[in-house]
Amino acid sequence: MDGSLRVLPGGKYTVHEIETASGTKIREYVSTGGNIFAVLWDGPVMPDLRQILGNYFERYTAATSAGQAGRRQIEVREPDLVVQARGHMRAFSGKAYLPQALPDGVTPDELR
Amino acid sequence: MSKSALITSLTVSLLVCACGGGGGDSAPVSVPNAQALFVGPGPANNVNLLFTTVEICTPGSASACQSIDHVLVDTGSSGLRILASVVDPSLSLPQQTGASGRPLVECGQFVVGFVWGPVKIADVRIAQELARSTPIQLIADPAFPLVPANCSSMGGTALNTAELIGANGVLGVSMFAQDCGATCEGITSPGVYFECAGSSCQATPASLAQQLQNPVTLFTQNNNGVVIDLPSVAPGGARTVTGSLIFGIGTQGNNAMGSAQVIRVNPTNGVFTTVLNNTSYGNSFIDSGSNALYFGNPGIPACSNPDFFCPGATQILSATLHGTSGSASVNFSVANAEALFSNNPGFFAFSDLAGPNASDTFDWGLPFFFGRKVFIAIAGQDTPAGVGPYVAF
């Protein structure tokens, strides 16, 4: 992913902050074992979710495929995948995480 | 579609009057600046979608025109987008070109998916206001059938039918003059603007003038914003609702601000803060294109269809909107959505429909607009309450 990277080390995980050329900020949460278990984004355009979600991308897109007229948010909530996306052009934000891969003691709410 | 006949005929009769004035008087003629709005049946029969009718013409032509009904009125985006399948090919709308002179094609981003199609130039007429040579988007034009991977990589659905969009098009009348703005003066990834050579499309920078334009800013008058004026809707809903989309703020008798409270918003993205029961929602926005109030609130149970809230009894709530300056309180209700739908078959308008969202987000969708005159002031435009962007009500 293009952009500038800032690494914020922590006890239970490390945060990689990336600002893309489009101005959208992405935060990757990496476990001590090196696995990315959550990604947040915030900015004027949507990030590359195909790259961010990897193997989960097709499941996310399939979950968006019906009954979405009049909606400006998506929530996919499955046992092994949660994606929350909201906003509009100029102000998109969202969070994706793998509930079964959260490090011990880490709650989804603290990922912000 | 037949339900739109009334709105269509109103538009036509207004157009017939457009030749009026007469008498050789050089004083400015006050032109009708209000267009009918309608909540009711639509292409997908969704609830709480706000429709109007828009006329598009071949640039410079008074006769090569087409009236498009069931266009969603959206204060959450900018620019006119119409499904190519409903546009008469005989209009032969000119193609917008990019920096390299090739056709400019857009991947418009909505969070639920993308709209892919060329940017065309059209004269846009709404009520008697005319926006000449306006860049608009034709969605799902068969001339550009292949969606680039660098468009679909934003995720979500290809919004390429009236059923998926819930409308024949989207009229974006947000607080901004362009849909993307300065961000798209550079190349974005995923791409928003593309230049296409045959079926090969590459993301490209697009100048502000090349981008989709909020048509209101191109009107010769009444161009500093819009007013959405809808009647109140009783608990339990209404079969249909009619109202007005009024152009201009403080420019005519019908768009005076009166005692409206002004909420100034973040000038780059339009957001402000809502506070409800000591919870602060820093990502708040006013959006007529959302069909409910959507906000994070773990205290209100969701329905078995998790799109909406289903409290045991209707919740009466009061929130405060805080702008970068200005604040105002808003009272609203959250009813049991399943009960609303099952007890009121055939109803399309609900003032107390709400659903869950992320914990920092309050999306003031269409229910907010019922029973209010909502003023949407465009960034950089002067109004009696100062320069936009702001929302007032």
The pLDDT, as a whole number, for residue A25 is: 96
| pLDDT, average across residues B317-335 | 98
* HEC per residue, B278-290: CEEEEEEEECCCC
The pLDDT, as a whole number, for residue B4 is: 29
Judge contact between B292 and B338, C-beta under 8 A: no
**B158 interfaces chain A, CB cutoff of 8 Å:** no
Inter-chain residue contact A85 with B164, CB threshold 8 Å: no
Residue-wise pLDDT tens digits, B83-100:
999 999 999 999 999 999
Inter-chain residue contact B77 with A71, CB threshold 8 Å: no
**B110 interfaces chain A, CB cutoff of 8 Å:** yes
The pLDDT, as a whole number, for residue A42 is: 96
The pLDDT, as a whole number, for residue B150 is: 97
Residue-wise pLDDT tens digits, A88-98:
999 999 999 99
Percent of chain B scoring above 90 in pLDDT: 90
The pLDDT, as a whole number, for residue A69 is: 81
| pLDDT, average across residues B306-313 | 95
Domains B12-218 and B251-392 share a fold: yes
**A58 interfaces chain B, CB cutoff of 8 Å:** no
The pLDDT, as a whole number, for residue A67 is: 67
**A73 interfaces chain B, CB cutoff of 8 Å:** yes
Least-confidence region, from B27-41, B294-308, B369-383: B27-41
CATH class of B251-392: mainly beta
Gap between the Cα atoms of B290 and B90, Å rounded: 33
The pLDDT, as a whole number, for residue A46 is: 97
User: C-alpha distances in angstroms, B371 versus B260, B350, B368?
Assistant: 13, 12, 8
A106 or B5, higher pLDDT: A106
Closest C-alpha to B74, from B121, B117, B110: B110
Of A47, A50, A91, the CB nearest to B270: A91
Which residue of A lies nearest to B169 if distances are taken between CA atoms? A69
Q: Is the ipTM of this complex over 0.85?
A: yes
| pLDDT, average across residues B271-292 | 97
Which two tokens mark B381? 């435009």
B-chain residues near A53 (CB < 8 A) = 155
A-chain residues near B365 (CB < 8 A) = 70, 72
Of A22, A48, A74, the CB nearest to B112: A74
Gap between the Cα atoms of B150 and B128, Å rounded: 39
| pLDDT, average across residues B135-143 | 98
pTM beyond 0.90, yes or no: yes
The pLDDT, as a whole number, for residue A7 is: 76
The letter for the amino acid at A93 is: S
- Flag whether pLDDT at B7 surpasses 60: no
Percent of chain B scoring above 70 in pLDDT: 92
B-chain residues near A64 (CB < 8 A) = 112-113, 155-157
- Counting beta carbons within 10 angstroms of the beta carbon of residue B236, is it exposed (0 to 12), middle (13 to 18) or buried (19 or more)? middle
- Flag whether pLDDT at B239 surpasses 90: yes
Which two tokens mark B309? 């809230």
Q: pLDDT band at B386, cuts 50/70/90?
A: very high
Judge contact between B257 and B375, C-beta under 8 A: yes
Q: Where are the domains of chain A?
A: 3-100
Gap between the Cα atoms of B276 and B267, Å rounded: 23
Which residue of A lies nearest to B46 if distances are taken between CA atoms? A69
The pLDDT, as a whole number, for residue A109 is: 86
Say how many Å lie between the first and final Cα of chain A, rounded.
21
The pLDDT, as a whole number, for residue B5 is: 28
Judge contact between B275 and B267, C-beta under 8 A: no
Which residue of B lies nearest to A42 if distances are taken between CA atoms? B283
**A32 interfaces chain B, CB cutoff of 8 Å:** no
Pair type for strands B279-286 and B272-276: antiparallel
What are φ and ψ of residue B48, in 5° steps? Answer: 55, 40
B-chain residues near A61 (CB < 8 A) = 155-157
Residue-wise pLDDT tens digits, B284-305:
999 999 999 999 998 999 999 8
The pLDDT, as a whole number, for residue B305 is: 87
The pLDDT, as a whole number, for residue A6 is: 76
DSSP-assigned states of every residue in B164-191: HHTSSEEEEE-SSSBSSGGGGGS--SS-
Place of tokens 């457009």: B18
Place of tokens 């267009």: B35
Q: pLDDT band at A68, cuts 50/70/90?
A: confident
Q: Where are the domains of chain B?
A: 12-218, 251-392
CATH of B12-218, picked from 2.40.70, 2.60.40, 2.30.30, 3.40.50, is: 2.40.70
Element (H, E) at B346: none
